[in-house]
Structure 1
């Protein structure tokens, strides 16, 4: 009964919290930075003008195709298009609750509800739910796909997986993650049965284990058949996408010069700081354990810090957009810290190490297949992006936060996390409403966003 109460109450709370802000944003400005391109293209598709395409747009047309739902009710307008994101955000809070509750073994409905509302209020994600960007509805399709994948309803999951790729190409990585987890689970379960041991007793990170698996012809044949049987729907998405990238020469479909793939390993460091700051409940829980790991493995940690310093020195890439666009918080963070003090990017490397260990510890209760594929997927999504953009962190953060372990019975750190989000959202919107920046290329004042 409590489950159904939260499924009804959560969207009502979210709408009550967000609708006044949504209307205030609309009254303040009808176009925010790149939203200009999305709104223009969305209005074309909403009015069934499919022959018009803006070459500056880099994503597949999923967002604009969804906008067709507005056509029969004559709502092809900026307000109507933004309501698509707002509606998606309301759906997200329900999906976050359902997934979080399953991950908590269905025993903690109130904690799942608290976490769902908190994740939905994540400041960068929450801000873009008031605008017509791909982020919110992209997350909706990812959550739908992930929900059905966890239920092993693979046909339904694949439908939403395909929809997620239509929203944003990089979502194919999360489809690959799910397929990879499923494949590893099949291999490990079959190996455990062969060795007559339990799944959790398999030493996944031992080379000998994989030598035995790969050289056992009968085990491999059975496993491949089971993987193809369960994962064929995902392969229908993954294989054509690989062909698309090969033919297109890039993962993006427009403005390729500004979005060239580059190896950029420090993105992993920036993401770890993002998680350390915003996943407060995990950071508090992992503080003691992380410090113990660092103190116990001093030599290894010092070596890793040295490697990170070299990575920072030789692989720190700065996109022209980061230096030129003063409408984003990352512009101010970079120019007032990283760009201003040459020593800062090196001094912060120990914090990167701490954050990465805390992040990894936050998933240590998960099965090995999840941990392996999650880290591979994070690297693939982030470390080939030249531009530092917090929106790239949203999906990997949400998936991480959905799998963190509760900190205690009183949920103090979870409430602290929510309070921090609400305060930061208030500050973000205050700056958005009151701070104006004049750009000569635009008639309307520009505003600062994430």
Structure 2
């Protein structure tokens, strides 16, 4: 029922707003001037024509073809291009992302239940609907861009990986790369995350089998519950409160590991000891990664078109922007007197560590802002993006403005990390 409620809620606001957008802006808008004609070529059965200004693979156009074919199976069945071509209007192509937005909402709902099984379906439904309203995602729901379909495939890849369906996850990873090449980073992250959970599960199973060579039904249930819980969390959690850890059997050691460095060595040691099993289990991701590497060599770069405007550059300031945008999206949570007070008390409790971390963060942020703040040519040329005005009216308003924002970037990251740390420890 929760999935249906999320899909219905997303559809309730997405469909009317999409209709409103189509009535006000019926013609292709911004980057749609490239994507819509390209999709229409595919609708006519012309798969060889390619706009050299399009940088991403044709995954979105194939999804749109499948979607339109499901709406009008008769036109597809008779394979008459002239009959199918008129169906590929701007409005119908845009509606692809409305469907993908509903899929994203359902996937977020399932991810919440997987990551936090105790959250309950009601809260998971409410949170999923709220996440669907996230501004960076919300705006692209009504345009024919790759963003929403790309996000849907990434979420599906993550959910499949958490459920240990690694072949399915790798297939979704390949699909996500067909939407946007940079999704290969997410695939590597999820695969690494899954590998860590996998070796932890192997270690726990080995420990239990050593203690009891013939486990009872109860112990099997405990292992199963523990495996699902660890896998659902995805991100590595310290299990110092776990009874096995308390008995000192984690990775064969007589003491529990608490420091981050020791945890890294512990994880690396476990992966090395189980390298054959890990390689076999996560081979699907390796296959996709090798294929992607071959594509880069064949293509001469990551992007397909407009390569001169999409050169790989060290734009480290983007990490700072990301922290601020993430904190701003949850403004009442991060920017309140109570939150500032909590961070201040945390710094006072850990004076040496927090002072050193603050100095390093400020120093690295200054270097990133001073040396690695890059203005993309398209950002400066198109005044129809919010980022155009943020760059011109805020970051570049005065020569020192980008430096004044550094403490805000650092505060945002410290607040996000602090809250994530509390959630992981809870």
Same fold (TM over 0.5): yes
Matched ranges for 1:27-426 at <5 A: 27-29=23-25, 30-69=27-66, 70-71=68-69, 72=73, 73=75, 74=84, 75-187=87-199, 196-197=249-250, 201-203=256-258, 205-206=260-261, 210=265, 222-280=273-331, 282-283=333-334, 287-295=340-348, 296=351, 297-364=354-421
Determine the C-alpha separation between the residues in 1 that align with 2:384 and 2:32.
13
TM-score (norm 2): 0.78
Determine the C-alpha separation between the residues in 1 that align with 2:164 and 2:361.
39
Q: Which runs of 5+ in 1 are unaligned?
A: 369-404, 406-450
Q: CA deviation at 1:89?
A: 0.7
Contact 2:112 2:119 in 1 (8 A): no
Q: CA deviation at 1:304?
A: 2.8
What is the aligned partner in structure 1 of residue 229 from structure 2? none
Q: CA deviation at 1:65?
A: 1.2
Larger Rg: 2
Q: Which is bigger in relative contact order (C-alpha 8 A, separation at least 6)?
A: 1
TM-score (norm 1): 0.74
**RMSD of equivalent CA atoms:** 2.7
What is the aligned partner in structure 1 of residue 22 from structure 2? 26
Determine the C-alpha separation between the residues in 1 that align with 2:308 and 2:6.
43
Residues 292-329 of structure 1 show CA distances to partners (whole Å, capped at 9, x for unaligned) of 34453235413431332232112222222222211111
Three-state SS of the structure 1 residue aligned to 2:326 is helix
Q: CA deviation at 1:266?
A: 0.7
Determine the C-alpha separation between the residues in 1 that align with 2:271 and 2:323.
36
Contact 1:59 1:252 in 2 (8 A): yes
Q: CA deviation at 1:207?
A: 5.3
Residues 348-375 of structure 1 show CA distances to partners (whole Å, capped at 9, x for unaligned) of 111111111122223325779xxxxxxx
- C-alpha change, 1:279 and 1:250, in structure 2 (3 Å) is farther
Three-state SS of the structure 1 residue aligned to 2:100 is helix
Determine the C-alpha separation between the residues in 2 that align with 1:205 and 1:113.
34
What is the aligned partner in structure 2 of residue 413 from structure 1? none
Q: Which runs of 5+ in 2 are unaligned?
A: 76-83, 208-247
Three-state SS of the structure 2 residue aligned to 1:102 is helix
Determine the C-alpha separation between the residues in 2 that align with 1:53 and 1:254.
9
Determine the C-alpha separation between the residues in 1 that align with 2:367 and 2:287.
40
Determine the C-alpha separation between the residues in 2 that align with 1:103 and 1:187.
18
Residues 84-137 of structure 1 show CA distances to partners (whole Å, capped at 9, x for unaligned) of 111111111111111112222144222211110111111221111111110111
Contact 2:162 2:194 in 1 (8 A): no
Determine the C-alpha separation between the residues in 2 that align with 1:306 and 1:32.
41
Three-state SS of the structure 2 residue aligned to 1:206 is helix
- C-alpha change, 1:286 and 1:234, in structure 2 (3 Å) is farther
- Matched positions, count: 361
Contact 1:203 1:209 in 2 (8 A): no
